[in-house]
Structure formats: C-alpha cells, structure tokens
Amino acid sequence: MTHKKDSFLVNRLKSVGYAFKGAIYLVKTESSIKIQVFIAIAVTIAGFYFNITKTEWLVQIAFIGLVMSLEGMNTAIEYLSDFIHPDRHDSIGRIKDIAAGAVFIAAVSATIAAMIIYFPKIF
C-alpha cells in the first residue's frame, strides 16, 4: 500500500506546529528559559519606555532570539546526552559544559548590548 505524500505547504505547517510545541514545552519546563522570557519582557517594556531606535530594537530582538535559541539548543543537547549516556561521563559533561558556555557567551554579549543601549538613556 502506498502512502500519499503531503504537499510542501502541509509539511511546512506541520514543521511549524512541531516547533511551536517544542517552544511551549521549553518555556513550561525549563527554569532558565522562564528567567530569559522574564528578561525579554522587561527589556521590551524598557524599549518602549525609553523609545529606543529601530536599530536598537533590531539589536535587542536579535540578542533575545539568540540567547533563547541557544538555551533551547543547550536543553536539547542535555536531554540527548542524558538519553545516550545517563550515567556521569567526562565526555558527556564536557559536551554539556560547551553547550552551556555558548549560552553564557550569548547572554554576556546581550548584557553588554543592553548596557550600551540603556545606560545613556538612564544616566
């Protein structure tokens, strides 16, 4: 029996649905992403309050997306690592540390960008 292949559009819509489901799962289950969502909301409110420029909005949105995306990848790497090797293992630990380090680098960069945007407006 042959299975009828879905159209390109149907496949894209399914993919978006899976991605949305993953994002909701991430926000519901991971405390670090909940903190990042709170920070994203706070700086978005600050952006409206301080009337930041279009360029500043673009930088802010890009960093919010970068940090939250990397946090999602970090979480996926942690889940995958734990699935592959549930016991403590030095190589798995190093993989997890590297993924967490990528989030850390993005978060520090985002913080520096936020200081560049907001410090002149605050002080």
What does the pLDDT look like over 67-119, one tens digit per residue? 999 999 999 999 999 999 999 999 999 999 999 999 999 999 999 999 999 99
Phi, psi of 52 (to 5 degrees): -70, 160
Q: Give, as one character, the DSSP assignment of residue 4.
A: P
Question: Tokens standing for 24?
Answer: 């909701």
Helix residue spans in the chain (DSSP H): 8-29, 31-49, 54-84, 90-122
What domains, with CATH codes, occur in the chain? 31-122 (1.10.287.3610)
Give the pLDDT of residue 1.
59
| SS3 category, 2 | coil
pLDDT at residue 2 tops 70 = no
Radius of gyration of the chain (CA): 19
Distance CA 87, CA 65 (A): 32
Task: State pTM to two decimals.
Answer: 0.88
Is there a contact between 114 and 66 (Cβ–Cβ < 8 Å)?
A: no
Is there a contact between 63 and 110 (Cβ–Cβ < 8 Å)?
A: yes
Is there a contact between 109 and 63 (Cβ–Cβ < 8 Å)?
A: yes
Give the pLDDT of residue 5.
81
